[in-house]
Each structure stands twice: as C-alpha cells, then as structure tokens.
Structure 1
Amino acid sequence: MKPRMIVTASMLATVAAVFLLVAIQTLHMRTWGGDNVQPASASHHPVQLTNDNLVDVLSSMQLSTPIARVEWKQSILTLDLKVKRTGTSYTEIYENMAAVADLGFRSLDNVDQVLLRVMAEDEWMHKRHLLLAADIRRGEWPLYAIETLRNWKSAAFSDELKDWFHLMETELWKKQFEMTSQG
C-alpha cells in the first residue's frame, strides 16, 4: 500500500469511529433517560485533551452538523463541520459553533486555539465548499461571547463576534444565508 492510501484509510477510520461513537451515545441517552442524564464518569473539572481521548471527548457533544474532519496538535483543535442538508439554518450552525467553543475552552484546559470550518457538501459532485471559518483563541473574547454566538439571530455577524472569534464568511455563506434571510 502506498503511504498516501494508508493515511487516507486511517483518517476515514477515525471519522467513522467518531460517527459511530456519537450514534451509540445518542442511542444510549434516548434509551436511559434523555438529555439530562450524565455519565457516571462525568466530571465538572476541565480535562486534558489527548489523541487517546479525542474521540470520547468529541462524541460527548450533541451536534446537529456532523464532524467531517478533526485534528489535535500542540494545543490546537481543528474541526470541520459538514452541512449536508439545505434545510440547515444559520442558528443551528451557531449553536454547533458555540458548543465546540464551549467544549474547547470551558471543558478542556489544554486547548489554546480552535480552528473551525463550516463546510457545505455538494452531494452530486462530491465536493466540499467553505461557508464559514473561525479562529477562536483562548483569552481573546469575554466569557459571555459563547452565549452571544449561541443566541445570535441574524445571518450577518456583528463586528464584535467577528473580532472575538476571527470569523470569516465566504460569498457562498452570504448567498446561502444572509441574502435569503433578508427577503
């Protein structure tokens, strides 16, 4: 096997494992008492993110947009969220972005930066298109910024949100969400 094929196969296996663990956890939560149930091992203290617990930590998030890619390297968590269906709303995307930021900076104490991309996937052409990117850095935003993002009700971001989270919207984002929300 070529090295490129080995790397591709291992990345696909990792992504498949993340999806499988999320599905198992969702099934478990539905079977044993809903969203308010906490695992017996749940801790209120920040934990250290490692390559060994990466899948477990990420599977604890309940995202409506699936994780397409993840990387953990030297205190930088890189995530791609994949928007598959056209009915996904910008508020749903904001809630997922806030959940990632919340996990990265409130639940984990060794994440200094989260690089987050929101990608749209063209199911017919099997191409991915960047909608939105964020470079969220520890200590560069106020504590209430995550709740502000979670509750934001406009497709256009405020200047504060852009500055706090280093947000970059593509023309495709503007076309898909900003223009459609105006009229």
Structure 2
Amino acid sequence: MTSHREAAHRAIAQLEAEQELIDNLGSGAPQLDAATLHPWVWGSVQGLWSSGHFREAMGMAAKAINAQTQAKLGRKHLSEAKLLSDAFSMKPPASGQPRFRHGADDGSDNYRSRHEGAGSFARGVYSAIRSPIAHELDHELEENEALEQLAAFSILARWVDEADVETAP
C-alpha cells in the first residue's frame, strides 16, 4: 500500500512541476504583443482595445490605414479596397493615379507577385474583415479573433508605409 501512495505522491509532484513550468515559461508558442503592431494600427485602436471594444477597434484600424493611404497617394476620391487595389496595381501610374512600388521593377515574377499579392490581400482584408464589421453591428469579436485580424491590418499598414510612390511622368 505504501508503494502505491508513494507513486501517487510522485505523480502529483510531477504534474505540479509540469504546471509550474507552463505557468512560468509558457507553452513555447510565440506570443503576439499588440504594442509591436504597426503604429498606425495599434495607435489608432489602443483606447478601444483596452475597453474591450474589439469590433470598433477593427473599424478604426481600417479607417486609419485608409486615411494614411489616401494622404500618401493624394487620392481622397477612392477608399479602402478599391484604393489599395489600385495603388498596388502593376499598371503604370497615370495622371492622378500614382502607384505603390516595393523596390525597383526588375521584371521578375517575384516583383509582380509581390504587388499583385498585396493588392489581393488589401481587397481581402477590407472585404472579409472590414465590411462585415461595418455591417454586422450586433456581432462583437472575441479578443483572440480580433488580435488576429488586427495583425492582418498591421501587415497591410507596413506594406503601405514602406512603399515608394511612383507617379506618372
């Protein structure tokens, strides 16, 4: 009987030690700190986020990126998905229609893919995240889902911020 009791005590001690490691060291999975997101995004949502208004925070992040894009391109007549899709287009810039460029056009598939992908990503972020948030007013987001969406907006903000503006000659 004593050996069973000792085995049970050892098992309990091992489980407690494992839990202590998890509590102190975490699961080993990477953690996302919202404060490290692009400043256009986190700076625009911080107050809403801390009060648990995650849906409104997503809308604010979308508006912040839109405003920064409009200002950078000098194009206030377009917005959101259309604006960003047009901005990352591979079409040459035209009068009043500047384009975003990441690096020099070396004619490679990688260069084209990067710009086409950024335009598609921007359309997706605004269509699949921003649009439902704007129209489904009774649906609040869970914090984790909102953080994932905020990270998507942060990626887009970084691409916009880092892009060079190419204007028509």
The question of a shared fold, defined as TM-score above 0.5 by the shorter chain, is answered with no
Q: TM-score, length-normalised on structure 1?
A: 0.24
Structure with greater helix share of residues = 2
Tell me the TM-score normalized by structure 2.
Answer: 0.25
Structure with greater contact order relative to length (CA < 8 Å, sep ≥ 6): 2
**Structure (1 or 2) with the greater strand fraction:** 1
Larger radius of gyration: 2
